[in-house]
Amino acid sequence: MLCGPLDLVVWKDTGVTVRLREGGLQTSEDAKFYALSTRFKPFSNVNETLVVQFSVKHEQGIDCGGGYVKLFPATLNQEDMHSESQYYIMFGPDICGFGNNRLQVILYHHGKYHENNKTLKCRINKDTHLYTLIIRPNATYEVKIDNEKVTTGALEDDWDFLPPRKIKDPYARKPRKWDDRLQIEDPEDKKPEDWEDSEFIPDPEAKKPDDWNEEIDGVWEGPLITNVKYKGQWKPRIIDNPNYQGEWIHPEIDNPKYRPDTTICHYYNISVLGLDLWQVKSGSIFDNFLLTNDEEFAEEVGNKTWGLRKDVEQQWRELYEEMEKKKEEEETKRKREREWARQEDIWGLDEEDEEDNEEDSEKEPDEKSKLEDSASLGKKEARFDQKDEL
């Protein structure tokens, strides 16, 4: 379940209510799907800049789960929101195992979802990070993390919304005589006459047996022996190709299927902002949600929210890590001392056992002498009895 308010700022100076609240939304149960959304007055980003911004802190040290937000159309049924619900934009960190930490920027266009062709990385430490997506009316975009630009470009270039402008000429073929071999075997290099390339040769001292019958036994072949003059397989030396023409480049032509589309990422009824994600290990804290058409305003909001807390948060984290390190060192020290004490107790018991053994050894001669005396007396008495009987 998600707890806390959903901060929201939308379309500046258009009559839409602006709300900023303290607190954040934190996932609280492991291995769970989360769905939470807020609805506002529908608006369009046609001829307007669209800025999607929020902060997220993976306090739990996430190893698998989403940390992104989604923008939905007004047709969304919030009570039945799920992973298959249609959305316009999905933006934010998505972590799935060690080393697979992507910053997703998925955009909806003409009934399909398109991922950014660039591999964008998110930040997965335990600090709070601010994520900003900017889509401009001139069909360009920018992605920022912690108010710093990480990538920018044209929507048409970095997403496969449209067929490519250029394609390879289907009628062009590489000329048969085109030589793209960088190096070749030297045609003037000849194998030396005395070059031995047979690893095994017939034994010259072997003789055909006198009783060998070729009609019955077949043609006689002598045994093979290792050729002591064998030099290996001969190959001509390699030289630069004097006729090298370079790599053949397939000519391109205008793609007849390409049609410019000025409506890329034009959304006419943006009305819901929500979290629709899965987390294996909960604890992520979402905050400072913002939708606006003002890039400078978004940066200012980021600096006044995330920016004011980041240094303090870092100091607290470093202090916490230092305290945890000291706590671990003290626990290790106490554990070592307990181990030493246990060893001393064990050795102390051994010394007492040795003292007891020494005392026992001192007593043993007396008892042994008594036994020997009694045995000798018994023998004398036995001899006396025997003598008496005789």
Does 68 show up as a binding residue in the annotation? yes
In angstroms, rounded to a whole number, what is the distance separating the alpha carbons of residues 346 and 358? Answer: 19
Does 127 show up as a binding residue in the annotation? no
Q: Which residues contact 73 (CB under 8 A, 6 or more apart)?
A: 86, 87, 88, 267, 269, 270, 271, 272
Does 171 show up as a binding residue in the annotation? no
CA 196, 199, 204, 210 torsion-angle sign: negative
Closest among 162, 167, 228, 164 to 200, alpha carbons compared: 228
CA 6, 10, 12, 18 torsion-angle sign: negative
Does 197 show up as a binding residue in the annotation? no
Q: On the CB side of 93, how many CA atoms lie within 13 Å of its CA? A: 31
Does 368 show up as a binding residue in the annotation? no
3-state class of 301 per DSSP?
helix
How is residue 148 written in tokens? 């710093």
Report CA dihedral (347, 348, 350, 353) to the nearest 10 degrees: 180
In the numeric block, the tokens 């954040």 are attached to 24
Q: On the CB side of 118, how many CA atoms lie within 13 Å of its CA? A: 17
Instruction: Give the DSSP letter of residue 223.
Output: P
Distance separating the N- and C-terminal Cα atoms of the chain = 110
Cα Dmax for the chain = 142
Closest among 6, 64, 59, 69 to 28, alpha carbons compared: 59
How is residue 221 written in tokens? 């072949």
Q: Which residues contact 35 (CB under 8 A, 6 or more apart)?
A: 81, 82, 274, 275, 276
For the annotated binding site, the residues are 68, 70, 87, 94, 276
For the annotated binding site for an alpha-D-glucoside, the residues are 68, 70, 87, 94, 276
